[in-house]
């Protein structure tokens, strides 16, 4: 027998936040609240084409809906891990029951698996949903803080693009000097547009935050700067540092969406470039001549040079 999910009917259909959403948005929210992929804590991975099929859609129909719901702060969706955070989960499920004796260990385990950029914000929201009586909220906050400090969260390592030597058997030996972890991570962060003095101070202070929220904090600062609400980056950083667990991304969401769009564009351009290179290599000399005849001279010369480089690289493999 499958699990039974309970929805607060009035809390869903008569919610001001949900009543203004489209039928597709409402259907997707209902699906995410009752999905077979779902777990105790409301943050879980989905298989997009399976989720879409279960609603009678295609992945291409589902992704725009997820984006709209994310913009409305009803969910968060991480494309890299296909993880979804259903932000109205605790409007329909009991946070107190999730930390009951039979479920607490599993709840903590699932919170520990939440993608890094969401974890602190999720914990802050979850703890706030717990009742204050009997010291439950304070004790759970302490336990979660201790548990998360001992959980090792996976983190992608930057690709080594340094020079390397290749042996005759195809084994690549890197000749770069290892970069210290702190320096390597700082280099991978995107900092807000500030004057040099403030930026130098911010580079130092950001290291005092947990690794999982450093980029979020920087994005929040940049978001407030763009919105004209930044009174001082260092001052805001100091304020957030007092209670990192309570940090919630607000103005920085637009910054992160812009970065995601930029990265998606880079991926698309790389894929398009790959397709062009493949077509160039597959062309016969006669086909290339016909193609060049229809192009401006300078572009035709670049096309020829590109094909020669590709052919040379192909011959060396």
- Residue 163 pLDDT > 50: no
- Higher per-residue confidence, 168 vs 237: 237
Q: Are residues 137 and 69 in the same domain?
A: no
pLDDT the model gives residue 139: 87
Mean of the per-residue pLDDT values of the chain:
82
Q: Are residues 86 and 8 in the same domain?
A: yes
User: Does residue 165 fall inside a structural domain?
Assistant: no
Q: In the block, which residue shows the tokens 């911010």?
A: 202
- Supply the DSSP string of 145-162, one letter for each residue: HHHHHH-----PPPP--S
Packed helices 59-71 and 23-34: angle between N→C axes, nearest 10 degrees: 90
User: Does residue 10 fall inside a structural domain?
Assistant: yes
Residue 168: which pLDDT band, with cuts at 50, 70 and 90? Answer: very low
Q: Are residues 249 and 185 in the same domain?
A: yes
Q: CA-CA distance, 10 to 150, in Å (whole number)?
A: 40
CA 102 to chain centre: 31
Residue 160: which pLDDT band, with cuts at 50, 70 and 90? Answer: very low
Exposure of 172 in the CB half-sphere (CA atoms within 13 A):
7
- Residue 165 pLDDT > 50: no
Q: CA-CA distance, 152 to 260, in Å (whole number)?
A: 25
User: Does residue 154 fall inside a structural domain?
Assistant: no
Residue range(s) defining the domain that contains residue 64: 1-93
Q: Are residues 100 and 75 in the same domain?
A: no
- Residue 311 pLDDT > 50: yes
Q: Are residues 88 and 109 in the same domain?
A: no
How many structural domains is the chain composed of? 4
| Residue where one domain finishes, among candidates 108, 129, 149 | 149
- Residue 32 pLDDT > 80: yes
Q: What does pTM read for this prediction?
A: 0.49
Mean pLDDT of 2-22: 88
pLDDT the model gives residue 175: 40
pLDDT the model gives residue 2: 57
User: Does residue 79 fall inside a structural domain?
Assistant: yes
- Residue 96 pLDDT > 70: yes
Residue 1: which pLDDT band, with cuts at 50, 70 and 90? Answer: very low
Which residues lie closer than 8 Å to 64 by C-beta, 6 or more apart? none
What is the DSSP code (8-state) at residue 42? Answer: S
- Supply the DSSP string of 93-158, one letter for each residue: S-HHHHTSTTTHHHHHHHHHTS-HHHHHHHHHHHHHTS--GGGHHHHHHHHHHHHHHH-----PPP
pLDDT the model gives residue 171: 36
Q: CA-CA distance, 309 to 307, in Å (whole number)?
A: 5
Lowest mean pLDDT among 103-112, 144-153, 206-215: 144-153
What is the DSSP code (8-state) at residue 48? Answer: H
Is the Cβ–Cβ distance between 60 and 19 less than 8 Å?
A: no
Classify 10 as helix, strand or coil. Answer: helix
User: Does residue 275 fall inside a structural domain?
Assistant: no
Lowest mean pLDDT among 24-28, 171-175, 197-201: 171-175
Percent of the chain whose pLDDT exceeds 90 = 33
User: Does residue 110 fall inside a structural domain?
Assistant: yes
Which residues lie closer than 8 Å to 235 by C-beta, 6 or more apart? none
Q: Are residues 193 and 114 in the same domain?
A: no
User: Does residue 274 fall inside a structural domain?
Assistant: no
Whole-angstrom CA distances from 226 to 70, 206, 255, 261 are 20, 20, 9, 18
Mean pLDDT of 122-151: 82
pLDDT the model gives residue 150: 52
- Higher per-residue confidence, 241 vs 90: 90
Residue 304: which pLDDT band, with cuts at 50, 70 and 90? Answer: confident
């Amino acid at each position: 027998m499958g699990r039974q999910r309970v929805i607060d009917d009035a809390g869903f259909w008569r919610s001001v936040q949900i009543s203004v959403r489209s039928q597709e948005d409402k259907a997707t929210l209902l699906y995410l609240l009752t999905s077979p992929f779902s777990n105790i804590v409301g943050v879980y991975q989905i298989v997009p084409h399976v989720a879409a099929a279960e609603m009678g859609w295609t992945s291409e129909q589902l992704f725009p809906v997820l984006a709209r719901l994310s913009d409305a702060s009803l969910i968060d969706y991480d494309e890299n891990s296909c993880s979804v955070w259903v932000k109205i989960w605790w409007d329909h499920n009991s946070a107190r029951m999730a930390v009951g004796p039979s479920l607490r260990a599993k709840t903590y385990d699932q919170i520990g698996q939440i993608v890094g950029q969401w974890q602190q914000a999720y914990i802050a929201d979850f703890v706030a949903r717990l009742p204050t009586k009997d010291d439950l909220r304070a004790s759970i906050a302490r336990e979660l803080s201790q548990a998360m400090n001992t959980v090792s969260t996976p983190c992608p390592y930057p690709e080594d693009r340094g020079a390397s030597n290749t042996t005759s058997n195809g084994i690549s030996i890197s000749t770069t000097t290892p970069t210290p972890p702190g320096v390597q991570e700082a280099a991978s962060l995107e900092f807000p547009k500030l004057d040099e003095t403030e930026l130098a101070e911010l580079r130092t202070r950001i290291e005092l935050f947990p690794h999982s929220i450093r980029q979020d904090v920087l994005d929040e600062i940049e978001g407030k700067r763009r919105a004209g609400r930044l009174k001082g980056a260092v001052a805001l950083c100091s304020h957030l540092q007092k209670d990192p667990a309570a940090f919630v991304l607000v103005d920085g969401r637009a910054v992160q969406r812009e970065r995601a769009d930029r990265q998606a564009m880079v991926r698309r351009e790389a894929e398009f470039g790959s397709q062009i290179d493949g077509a160039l290599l597959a062309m016969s000399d006669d086909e290339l001549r016909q193609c060049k005849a229809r192009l401006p001279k300078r572009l035709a010369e670049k096309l020829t040079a590109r094909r020669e480089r590709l052919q040379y690289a192909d011959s060396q493999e």
